């Protein structure tokens, strides 16, 4: 029913849309408000062209009538007439009185007076009636599009003896029926009970009723377009008969499918069993004893395949274990430096590590040792097991793309770490952060303190053994730094490959400068800081004494360099070293340095200050005036005058109230102004003589100090001269 509804409504909607288009066209709108005669043949032709749009095999429209009662004209397929003289005038006038602007009606064909429609020999015609104009409350005329009922009947399902299809209007009148003698009759005239008409109240549905005392199944669909009802009436006996036929047909088909399936299964089984039999025969040839086994062939093959898989898995496991052992042995030799370069390259390629290592721009060796087990819940025999647990932690925390497999060498966990496209600083930060994370994880899961040594970064894999030794060397400094520490090798003696001995050099230099400047209180504060820094480190008494003797030696060197005699410090026949080594407490040592060295030396330098300061400052100023046109520095002056650069800086600022660099800049600026006024030297050459990188820097500096460019200064003051 839905398909019948769709097919018919597609035609009806097309007719409705096209007729609306014709009525609203400018040609018809202009014709509505004027009389037409045979002299208006051009307008008539244009109207006929518009009407031809409606008439096509798809729309099934036989005639289109445009009737204007106000201006007394009518146009149809046959031509143009006066409305008052048209035979069906009264019928058209009655259609103008219909409610609404658009209606679908079933009209007797003879009432239209249309020869074209009558030629179809259909007693009834379905007409689409629209008032003109559509948008006005005043009706001037009417437009009709006629479709013979019999042409629409050809579009619905072919009738059968037990089934009847029809289209009903709002009044349950048959407007489309395969049998033309039924068109125009009401459904109740067809044997349908009046009280059952209310059962068509939905948009669609199905129900059973009786027509002429015969049980009938009714299926209907109500159109959303014009409210027509598309109904199908089928006798229940026919449905039962069809169902029985369908049932037998289904049974035959099922039996045929079962037979085909059985045949296919039999053929497939034979085809599948043949290779299974061959496999069994091959197994039986190699293992004759299995024929005595009462198991089925498939069970025997299954057991044999399982045995093969188990053997394969076992072999894979042994091969993997042996491979890991060989790889571990290779890494041991790599860290210990017991492998040649060709062998190393061959092994790297063998283990599939060639591309990974070649992509690394930075490499470093990461060494880890357990600090102690005595004060923990573990025993010394647990050391190997703990190292294995730490080994697993390391391999889980470090991505495999950033490391080679970790190995244990002489109770030291050694791991080669590498990264690609990374700077030295970023690589160091990465390893240090990684070390902190590993320490935290080990502490959290194993409740164990470990120390980590980090080698210097390198690029050539052949230097791995040296890097491993650097990591071990770094771990030796736990004797001073304590447990649970991370020691990068670059922090030991600025990354040089020598042993580091901590000494507060910077504080000592500041102490010596304070003594030379005769700043006694400042010198005593720095002595206190120096002693606190030395005794803050956990070292042996011998190491403390070495630091104290070194400070004493450096102070005596200062005395010698500055021509201070031992008698000036009230030191006669006694040995200062022996006096110092007899002291054992920090307070006694500090008091001894103050009384015997700091205060006496400061008094001597204070006596020399007046003449010495002036002499040093004058020498520095003389150097600046003679060598301002090159890159002279305070450090160079200190070397030439045999003084510490920090001391010279303090002396110079005290005498001139400005730093060395400020005085040098001021003097260069003075000379540049002199050259600008007194010479024709180009500004570019002046900038070069004053050690500027380019003339633009010189111009910016000059403008900042003088408020004008060098060129403006030269123009202003040279003209004045």
Domain boundary among 486, 514, 543: 486
Q: Are residues 101 and 42 in the same domain?
A: yes
206 and 340 fall within a common domain: no
Contact 175, 126 (CB under 8 A): yes
Give the domain range for residue 636: 615-720
65: in domain = yes
Instruction: State pLDDT tens for residues 347-370.
Output: 888 888 888 899 999 999 989 998
Longest dimension (CA), the chain: 161
Give pLDDT, residue 275.
76
Which of 454-458, 576-580, 674-678 has maximum average pLDDT?
A: 454-458
Q: What is the pLDDT of residues 106-138, one digit of tens each?
A: 988 888 766 655 555 788 899 999 998 888 788
Same domain, 455 and 334: yes
The DSSP annotation for 108-164 comes to: EGGGTT-HHHHTTT-SEEEEEEEEESTT-SS--EEEEEEEEHHHHHTTSPPPBTTEE
Q: Each residue of 24-66: pLDDT tens digit? A: 888 888 888 888 887 888 888 888 888 888 888 888 888 899 9
Query: Residue 649 has what pLDDT?
Result: 85
With respect to residue 170, please indicate whether it lies within any of the assigned structural domains.
yes
Residue that is last in its domain, among 155, 174, 198: 155
Q: Is residue 406 part of a domain?
A: yes
Q: What pLDDT shows up at residue 38?
A: 79
Per-residue confidence (pLDDT) for residue 571, from 0 to 100 = 79
pLDDT at 270 over 80: no
CA 407 – CA 397 distance, rounded (Å): 15
**Residue 676: C-alpha distances to residues 32, 626, 701 (Å):** 101, 19, 15
Query: Do 502 and 550 touch, CB atoms closer than 8 A?
Result: no
Q: Return the higher-pLDDT residue of 719 and 624.
A: 624
Task: Give the Cα separation of 1 and 164 in Å (integer).
Answer: 12
- In this structure, the answer to whether residues 631 and 650 fall within a common structural domain is yes
Instruction: Assess whether 665 and 716 both reside in one domain.
Output: yes
pLDDT digits (tens, 9 = 90+) for 280-289: 677 766 666 5
* CATH for 643: 1.10.10.60
User: 495 lies in a domain?
Assistant: no
Mean pLDDT of the chain: 83
Tell me, yes or no, whether 498 lies in a domain: no
**Full-model pTM:** 0.38
Q: What percent of the chain has pLDDT over 70?
A: 89
368 shares a domain with 418: yes
Q: Are residues 232 and 178 in the same domain?
A: yes
Question: Is residue 708 in some structural domain?
Answer: yes
- pLDDT in the model for residue 500: 42
Indicate the number of domains in the chain.
Answer: 5
**Which of 101-110, 413-422, 604-613 shows the lowest per-residue confidence on average (mean pLDDT)?**
604-613
**From CA 403, how far away is CA 414, in angstroms rounded?**
11
Q: What is the CATH number of the domain that holds 352?
A: 3.30.70.270
């Amino acid at each position: 029913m839905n398909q019948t509804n769709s097919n018919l409504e597609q035609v009806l909607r097309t007719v409705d849309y096209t007729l609306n288009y014709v009525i609203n066209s400018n040609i018809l709108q202009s014709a509505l408000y004027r009389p037409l005669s045979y002299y208006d043949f051009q307008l008539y032709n244009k109207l006929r062209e518009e009407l031809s749009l409606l008439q096509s095999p798809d729309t099934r429209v036989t005639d289109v009538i445009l009737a204007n009662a106000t201006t007394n004209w009518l146009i149809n397929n046959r031509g143009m007439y006066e409305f008052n003289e048209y035979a069906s005038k009264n019928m058209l006038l009655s259609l103008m009185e219909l409610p609404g602007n658009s209606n679908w009606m079933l009209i007797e064909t003879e009432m239209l007076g249309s020869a074209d429609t009558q030629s179809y020999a259909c007693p009834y015609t379905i007409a689409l009636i629209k008032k003109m104009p559509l948008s006005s409350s005043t009706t001037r005329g009417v437009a009709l599009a006629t479709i013979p009922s019999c042409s629409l009947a050809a579009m619905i399902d072919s009738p059968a003896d037990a089934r009847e299809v029809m289209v009903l209007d709002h009044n349950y009148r048959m407007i489309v029926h395969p049998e033309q003698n039924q068109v125009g009759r009401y459904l109740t005239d067809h044997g349908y009970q009046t009280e059952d008409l209310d059962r068509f109240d939905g948009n669609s549905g199905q129900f059973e009723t009786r027509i002429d005392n015969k049980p009938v199944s009714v299926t209907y669909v109500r159109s959303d377009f014009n409210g027509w009802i598309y109904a199908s009436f089928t006798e229940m006996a026919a449905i039962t008969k069809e169902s029985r036929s369908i049932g037998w047909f289904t049974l035959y088909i099922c039996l045929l499918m079962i037979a085909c399936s059985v045949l296919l299964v039999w053929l497939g089984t034979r085809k599948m069993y043949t290779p299974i039999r061959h496999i069994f025969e091959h197994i039986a040839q190699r293992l004759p004893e299995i024929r005595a086994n009462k198991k089925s062939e498939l069970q025997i093959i299954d057991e044999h395949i399982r045995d093969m898989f188990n053997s394969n898995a076992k072999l894979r496991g042994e091969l993997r274990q042996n491979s890991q052992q060989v790889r571990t042995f290779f890494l041991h030799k790599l860290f210990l430096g017991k492998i040649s370069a060709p062998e190393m390259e061959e092994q790297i390629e063998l283990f599939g590590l060639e591309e990974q290592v070649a992509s690394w721009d930075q490499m470093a060796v990461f060494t880890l040792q357990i600090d102690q087990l005595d004060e923990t819940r573990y025993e010394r025999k647990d050391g190997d097991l703990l190292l294995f647990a730490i080994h697993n932690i390391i391999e889980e925390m470090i991505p495999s793309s950033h490391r080679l497999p970790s190995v244990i060498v002489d109770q030291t966990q050694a791991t080669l770490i590498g990264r690609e496209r990374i700077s030295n600083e970023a690589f160091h930060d990465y390893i240090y952060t990684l070390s902190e994370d590993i320490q935290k994880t080990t502490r959290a899961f194993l409740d164990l303190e470990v120390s980590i040594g980090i080698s210097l970064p390198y690029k050539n894999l052949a230097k791995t053994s040296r890097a491993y030794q650097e990591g071990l060397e770094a771990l030796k400094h736990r004797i001073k730094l304590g447990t649970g520490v991370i020691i990068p090798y670059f922090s030991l003696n600025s990354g040089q490959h020598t042993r580091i001995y901590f000494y507060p050099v910077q504080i000592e230099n500041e102490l010596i400068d304070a003594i030379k400047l005769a700043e006694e209180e400042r010198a005593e504060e720095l002595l206190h800081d120096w002693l606190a820094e030395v005794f803050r480190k956990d070292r042996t008494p011998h190491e403390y004494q070495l630091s104290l003797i070194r400070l004493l030696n450096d102070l005596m060197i200062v005395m010698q360099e500055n021509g201070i005699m031992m008698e000036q410090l009230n030191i006669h026949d006694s040995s200062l070293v022996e006096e110092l080594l007899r002291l054992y407490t920090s307070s006694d040592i500090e008091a001894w340095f103050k009384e015997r060295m700091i205060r006496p030396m400061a008094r001597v330098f204070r006596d020399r200050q007046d003449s010495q300061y002036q002499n040093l400052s004058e020498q520095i100023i003389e150097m600046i005036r003679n060598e301002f046109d090159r890159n002279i520095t305070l450090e160079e002056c200190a070397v030439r005058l045999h003084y510490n650069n920090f001391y010279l800086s303090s002396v110079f600022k005290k005498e001139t109230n400005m730093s060395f660099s400020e005085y040098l800049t001021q003097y260069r600026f003075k000379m540049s102004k002199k050259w600008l006024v007194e010479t024709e030297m180009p500004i570019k050459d002046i900038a070069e003589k004053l050690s500027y990188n380019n003339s633009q820097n010189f111009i910016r500096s000059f403008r900042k100090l003088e408020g004008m460019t060098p060129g403006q200064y030269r123009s202003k003051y040279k003209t004045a001269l």
